[in-house]
Structures are given as structure tokens and as C-alpha cells.
Structure 1
Amino acid sequence: MAPIGTLWGPSRQAQTKIICSVAALNGLELEQPEWKSSDKPAGYTSAFSYGKIPAFEGSDGFKLIEGATIARYLCGLGTKVNLLGSDAKEIAQVDQWIHFSEQEIGVPWYNIVSVIYGLPSAGPFNRETHDKQTERLVRALTYVETYLGTRPSGYLVSDSLTLADLFLAGGIYGSCVTALGAAERAKYPAIFAHYAKQFWGTEQFTDVAITEPRSLP
């Protein structure tokens, strides 16, 4: 099968992993040029002037940005698995968990990273901001942990994998690179049993939560 298009973005990025998982589950092939933040490929910069990643350009020239939008689009192209829900209620629940994972897990995790590494959006390290965002992340994780404990299947919506599960795993992956060390992860057995279903590995996870300012690697 010929590639359906090109996906631009670093392979380590959570949203890129989600999109690649959707493609793999549906037997769709994607071109993935090597990504270097300091030297973006010419094909990307000419096609996506706003500069957001991940970005998708179909073989027919169709272009999309925003990770969730690209993932949903690829779900619609595939026929091997249904990742979007089988009825109106499941479809709504999938969307609910996608937004929850992005806003209640992804946003505080990103804010923690921004504070730790002094990104322009955060400015100098601020302990109060770091602690508030950590509290927000813990609140979300505690909610998800309790909810997954009621799910015999171990999945968020149905008895099998949906896009909601991939987005939750993406938020967990990102959080574990910086904010959740081994001690923190041990508090959420249901969440990490769920994460293990994605086969993304834990090689990038930090052993100890990073809570002090760092320089960018």
C-alpha cells in the first residue's frame, strides 16, 4: 500500500505517537521525514507556515494541523478497527476523554515542563506555579485512576481500544518524562496497567520526578 501522506513532527512527541498508532492499527502507511527542531525540513516549512506540529499532508495535498484532528481523520480512513465508538453515546465519551486527557493532563504537564525548563511561556522558575500545576495533574490522575477501577475491560469507553485510550496514554507518556517518577507512578496501578496496553515502552520515563529548574537538554 502506498503511503496516504506525510506526518511531520518528532517521533518522541505524544501526539505523533498517537497518530502513528492509529495508522498502524488501521494498516495505513505514513511517510515520516526525520525531524530536527533546529533544522525543520523545507517541505514542512513551505506547507505549514504557522509552524505547529504534528502536521499532516495527504498524498492528494490535503493538509491538517492539530493532533486530535489528524488522529480523527485517520480513524475515518481506516476500516480495520473502529476507534471512534459504535453509537452516539460512545462517540461522545471518546470525545470527552480526548478533551479531558488533553486539557486536564496534557495542559498541567506542559505547564510543569515550561516552568522547570524556563520556557518563554513560563519565564523564570516559580515554585508556586509548579506546585499548583502538579496539584492539578494529581487531581486529574486520581479521577482517572478511580474511573478505570470501575472498568472490567481496562479501557475507558468500550471493551476494546478507542482513540480515547490512545490520548490518555499520550498524556501519561508526556507526564512520565518529567513530572511522574517511579514513586508517583506506583500510586496509579490502573492507569499504568492501561498504559501498558499501548506498547509504547517506558524507556523515556524519569526515575525521580523533576521538581527543580533545569536547562534544556
Structure 2
Amino acid sequence: MVLKLYYIHQSPPSRMVVMTLKALGLDYEEVIVNLFEGEHKKPEFLKINSRGKVPCLSDDNYVIAESRAICSYLCNQYEKGDNRLYPTDPKQRGQVDQILYVSENTNDMMMAYINVGGVLFRGEKPVEEKIGEVKKALDLYEGYLSKTGYIASDGLTLADFFMASPLLMLDLPGYDDFKDYPKTTAWLAKIKALPYFDESNKEGLTKMKEMYQNALKK
């Protein structure tokens, strides 16, 4: 078995795949694809993933892209035991799948405010008019967490990884208005306390915040 992950540390979806690999205790080879130098658009990478996106995973001769699909595949293929990141019970898995879809929407809502592309490449700022979208998303988190200890159930699942991802990005502009969301704050603290969290996220988040803040200063 040779798992090979094509990614870059600054990419939030890439980091969620890294978290899944580490949670499952899987060894893998890293291949850094530098998006800032256009390596994802070069012919050699487009042969691997025609969409020109990271992350992308190669498992021997099997290649899969899209972070949620990659993480689901890894769990389907390699996860063992009863307390699973991706449950096998259809109803439990359905709940995880549902929130994996929701996480795309919450990501869009928060990114509309953070405006990463605009800040890094077009000299723009966070879009203050979109603060309301952030609060709408946080209302969803608080609602889910009023029912269960984690975002999709009382145990840790892939849904937690992908719902945590956009929340972590709110640190780029320094957003910290969580006073009305105590359950969300406590849940995110549990995610950050996972033994593989820093190893999976610290470098990428630090680099991304540095780039973002430097662009704002300019």
C-alpha cells in the first residue's frame, strides 16, 4: 500500500484530509503542489487531477479527488473498530453525510466575509457587509450542538473536521465574536485538543494568516 497525498499546507480541504489520515493512523507520502506558483495547472498535475485542484489522493493505481470524497474513501477502505469517523449504520452515516453537505454551505458563508482571494490577489479587505452570513452559519453550529456532543452525533466524525475548517479560517481577519455561541466555542476547543490537530493544521494556518495579514497591510 502506497498512499500519496497531493496538497499544500495552506489549503483547508487539504488539512482535513491530513487530519483524517492521522486519525486513522495511516502512513502516506506527501507531494506538495504549490498553488501560488501555478503547479496545480501544469500538465503533469492535470494528468493526476483534471480539475487542477488539491487535495488529491493516490492509493496504488486508484486516484480520488475532492476532500470529502477522499476522507470518506479512506474511512471506507481502512477504518476499523466501533467508534468510527464515518459510521457504517445507514442512519448514523446519513446524518454525517447531511452535515458534510451543509459544511460546504457554511464554508461559503464564512468565506464570503473572509474574502481570501480578494485579500491575497486583488488588494481587497474582509467584506464587513457579510458579517451577517457568519452569524447565520454560527447559528447553525449552535443548533446542531444543542442536540449532540459533537456536530453530527455524540462521537467524533468526519462532519466535525469539515465543520471546524471554516471556523478556523475566521482567525485570518481576527474575527472573535463568539459570545453568543458557547456550545460552538466548547466544541471547537475539543477539536483543537485532538492529538493530531496541531500536526495537521498549525503550519498551514500560521502561513495562511501571515500571508493574509501581510496582504491587508499592503
The alignment-based identity, stated in percent, is 23
- Post-superposition shift, 1:141? 0.6
* Corresponding position of 2:190: 197
Structure 1, unmatched stretches of 5+, are none
Q: 1 CA distance for matches of 2:32 and 2:125?
A: 35
The TM-score, its normalising length taken from structure 2, stands at 0.75
Question: Cα RMSD over matched residues?
Answer: 3.4
Cα 1:80–1:115 change in 2 (3 A) is closer
* Corresponding position of 1:175: 170
- Post-superposition shift, 1:187? 3.5
The TM-score, its normalising length taken from structure 1, stands at 0.76
Equivalenced residue count is 202
Query: Where is the helix percentage greater, Structure 1 or Structure 2?
Result: 2
Q: Which moved more, 1:89-98 or 1:33-42?
A: 33-42
Structure 2, unmatched stretches of 5+, are none
2:26 to 21, 25, 28: 28
Q: 2 CA distance for matches of 1:33 and 1:116?
A: 23
Larger relative contact order (C-alpha < 8 A, sep ≥ 6)?
2
Q: 2 CA distance for matches of 1:45 and 1:16?
A: 17
* Corresponding position of 2:13: 15
- Post-superposition shift, 1:126? 8.9
* Corresponding position of 1:91: 93
1:134-213 equivalences in 2 (<5 Å): 134-151=131-148, 154-178=149-173, 181-182=175-176, 184-199=177-192, 200-201=197-198, 204=205
Deviations 1:1-21 (A, max 9, x none): x54x21111123221221112
Checking the alignment, whether the CA contact within 8 Å between 1:75 and 1:83 is kept in structure 2 is yes
Partner AA of 1:54 in structure 2: P
Partner AA of 2:27 in structure 1: E
Checking the alignment, whether the CA contact within 8 Å between 1:15 and 1:54 is kept in structure 2 is yes
Name segments (4+ residues, structure 1) moved above 6 Å: none
Partner of 1:7: helix, strand, or coil? strand
